[in-house]
């Protein structure tokens, strides 16, 4: 008998198949048992009719406990009443592994309990749907950058010096010297761009974020494209095209998951139309202060400010040209204004906050050297990085998109902890 995954059900209607599955739930009467099964690919129904199976099979179906694993054999049928659309009419049911007193029912338990049981919580239909969206975003990312002619390269995760903000660095030992876990691969990606033109990386990022917010993880995944011969405007064009591509891919390939998540698809469709609006940091300050915020020029925006700005638009919005003083040393100053840099943050709608941070990089040797000194960084550790400006420097730009921020937003999930299988948070490194 053919062993299948239920996700391929449409190809096997009317056929007898064998499926390995778990019992998500069940209900039964004297004559019929309905098993809510999950085989990892989807949730589906198994129907066991007493008069059509052996007494032993019916008793197994009646008594089986939540999350026991089973081999199910039967015929695939269309089932227009269910969301999934197919069910299996069961002939035989064989228990593989019993499950006794399964501890969690996501709707009934609080977050801490669910987080303690994250290894089991992942089995629930909502978490399954979020992981499908995450997977689609990963898949679409590789597809997009391949289509656009980028080469994927992998910057190191163990680094000898801080790329950006020293307060958020994880420190470790590297034989007889210090090392740090990567907070961003950007500087290496710039070297990659000078070698390969257009490159992207997709890897883990570590930040010792001391604040507890619903947007920050300690360990998250970041996609970092870097492009030679591209200025800030070219970069914004790629960024919006990429984000719209991700949303469209999820709409195209995760229809069922979006239903499970009760995500508003009409809203998502709006996010696929380009271009995205752009406002400058200066305009943002003015807008905020006209609306009872109290922000001074030179401050960074927090979540309330970003959310308010995003609410003024029906799509993600770029905030351009932040003050130089609150951005990292490698950003290129605006050509006519020394106090602002050629950078942009892309803010997601609906209060999901910043999903991309990017900039045009300083490509002038002397200016970059001065910046390193101004930031009190040890220039000797950046000689290799300065070399990129010594040997055929070109205008170049890049950005970083946070995978879990994007998953949280597109799936419409409340908190970023559900956008990664095993979240690392300020107070949690278990399980």
Where on the chain is the footprint of ligand ATP (CB under 6 A)?
207, 209, 215-217, 220, 222, 353-357, 400-402, 404-405
Bridging pattern class, strands 43-49 and 69-78: unpaired
SS3 content of the chain, % helix, strand, coil (to 5): 35, 30, 35
Using CA atoms of 365, 371, 375, 377 in order, give the dihedral in degrees to the nearest 10.
Answer: 10
According to the 3-state scheme, what is the secondary structure of 163-229? CCCHHHCCEEEECCEEEEECCCCHHHHHHHHHHHCEEEEEEEEECCCCCCCCCCCCEEEEEEEEEEC
Position among 357, 358, 398, 402 found at the interface with Mg ion (CB under 5 A): 357
Residue closer to ligand ATP by CB (options 192, 402) is 402
Q: Least distance to ligand ATP from the beta carbon of 164, Å?
A: 7
Q: What is the DSSP secondary-structure string of 54-84?
A: -HHHHHHHHHPPTT-EEEEEEEEEE-TTSSS
Instruction: Name which of Mg ion, ligand ATP, none residue 118 binds, using a CB cut-off of 5 to 8 Å depending on partner kind.
Output: none
Instruction: Name which of ligand ATP, Mg ion, none residue 355 binds, using a CB cut-off of 5 to 8 Å depending on partner kind.
Output: ligand ATP
Instruction: Name which of Mg ion, ligand ATP, none residue 319 binds, using a CB cut-off of 5 to 8 Å depending on partner kind.
Output: none
Q: Least distance to ligand ATP from the beta carbon of 6, Å?
A: 33
Residue closer to Mg ion by CB (options 121, 322) is 322
Q: Least distance to Mg ion from the beta carbon of 345, Å?
A: 5
Using CA atoms of 194, 196, 198, 203 in order, give the dihedral in degrees to the nearest 10.
Answer: -100
Residue closer to ligand ATP by CB (options 214, 369) is 214
- Grouping H, G, I as helix, E, B as strand and the rest as coil, residue 117 is coil
Token duo for residue 235: 């970069």
Instruction: Name which of Mg ion, ligand ATP, none residue 47 binds, using a CB cut-off of 5 to 8 Å depending on partner kind.
Output: none
Instruction: Name which of Mg ion, ligand ATP, none residue 404 binds, using a CB cut-off of 5 to 8 Å depending on partner kind.
Output: ligand ATP
Interface mask (CB under 5 A) for Mg ion, residues 313-352, using x and -?
A: ----------------------------------------
Residue closer to ligand ATP by CB (options 39, 404) is 404
Q: In the 8-state DSSP scheme, what is residue 280?
A: E
Q: What is the DSSP secondary-structure string of 20-36?
A: EEEEEEEEE-SSEEEEE
Phi, psi dihedrals of residue 405, rounded to the nearest 5° = -60, -45
Residue closer to ligand ATP by CB (options 196, 425) is 425
Instruction: Name which of ligand ATP, Mg ion, none residue 402 binds, using a CB cut-off of 5 to 8 Å depending on partner kind.
Output: ligand ATP
Residue closer to ligand ATP by CB (options 207, 324) is 207
Cα–Cα–Cα angle for 351, 204, 229, nearest 5°?
A: 80
Residue closer to ligand ATP by CB (options 251, 343) is 343
Q: Least distance to ligand ATP from the beta carbon of 79, Å?
A: 39
Question: How far apart are the C-alpha atoms of 111 and 104, rounded to whole Å?
Answer: 11
User: What is the spatial order of strands in the sheet that 171-174 belongs to?
Assistant: 158-159, 177-181, 171-174
Q: In the 8-state DSSP scheme, what is residue 45?
A: E
Token duo for residue 359: 């900039």
Q: Least distance to Mg ion from the beta carbon of 77, Å?
A: 51
Instruction: Name which of Mg ion, ligand ATP, none residue 74 binds, using a CB cut-off of 5 to 8 Å depending on partner kind.
Output: none
Residue closer to Mg ion by CB (options 46, 357) is 357
Instruction: Name which of ligand ATP, Mg ion, none residue 226 binds, using a CB cut-off of 5 to 8 Å depending on partner kind.
Output: none
Q: Least distance to Mg ion from the beta carbon of 136, Å?
A: 24
Question: How far apart are the C-alpha atoms of 283 and 298, rounded to whole Å?
Answer: 13
Residue closer to ligand ATP by CB (options 321, 393) is 321
Window contacting Mg ion (CB under 5 A); options: 8-16, 102-110, 290-298, 353-361: 353-361
Query: Quick check: bond before 241 cis, omega within 30?
Result: no
Residues in contact with Mg ion by the rule CB under 5 A: 354, 357
């Amino acid at each position: 008998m053919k062993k299948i995954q239920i996700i391929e059900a449409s190809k096997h209607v009317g056929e007898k198949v064998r499926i390995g599955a778990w019992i998500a739930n069940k209900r039964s009467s004297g004559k019929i048992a309905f098993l809510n099964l999950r085989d990892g690919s989807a949730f589906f129904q198994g129907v066991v009719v007493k008069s059509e199976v052996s007494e032993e099979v019916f008793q197994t179906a009646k008594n089986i406990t939540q999350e026991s694993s089973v081999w199910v054999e039967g015929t695939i049928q269309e089932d227009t009443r269910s969301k999934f659309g197919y069910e299996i009419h069961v002939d035989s049911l064989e228990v593989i592994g019993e499950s006794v007193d399964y501890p969690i029912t996501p709707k009934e338990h609080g977050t801490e309990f669910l987080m303690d049981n994250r290894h089991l919580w992942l089995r629930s239909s909502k978490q399954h749907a979020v992981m499908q969206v995450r997977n689609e975003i990963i898949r679409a990312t590789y597809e997009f950058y391949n289509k656009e002619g980028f080469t994927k390269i992998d910057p190191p995760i163990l680094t000898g010096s801080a790329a950006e903000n020293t307060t958020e660095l994880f420190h470790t030992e590297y034989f007889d010297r210090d090392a740090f876990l990567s907070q961003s691969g950007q500087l290496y990606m710039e070297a990659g761009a000078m070698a390969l033109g257009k490159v992207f990386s997709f890897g883990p990022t570590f930040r010792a974020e001391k604040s507890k917010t619903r947007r920050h993880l300690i360990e998250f995944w970041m996609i970092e494209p870097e492009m030679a011969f591209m200025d800030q405007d070219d970069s914004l064009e790629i960024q919006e095209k990429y984000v719209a591509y991700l949303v469209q891919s999820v709409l195209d390939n995760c229809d069922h998951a979006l239903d499970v998540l009760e995500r508003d698809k009409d809203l998502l469709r709006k996010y696929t139309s380009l271009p995205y609006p752009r406002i400058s940091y200066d305009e943002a300050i003015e807008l905020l202060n006209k609306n009872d915020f109290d922000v001074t020029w030179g401050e960074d925006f927090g979540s309330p400010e970003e959310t308010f700005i995003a609410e003024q638009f029906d799509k993600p919005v770029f905030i351009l040209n932040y003050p130089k003083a609150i951005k990292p040393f490698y950003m290129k100053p605006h050509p006519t204004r020394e106090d602002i840099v050629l950078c942009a943050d892309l803010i997601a709608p609906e209060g999901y906050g910043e999903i991309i941070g990017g900039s045009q990089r300083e490509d002038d040797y002397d200016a970059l050297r001065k910046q390193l000194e101004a930031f009190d960084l040890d220039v000797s550790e950046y000689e290799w990085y300065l070399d990129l400006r010594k040997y055929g420097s070109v205008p170049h730009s890049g950005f970083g998109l946070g995978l879990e921020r994007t998953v949280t937003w597109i799936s419409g999930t409340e908190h970023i902890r559900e956008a990664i299988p095993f979240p690392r948070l300020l107070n949690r490194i278990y399980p």
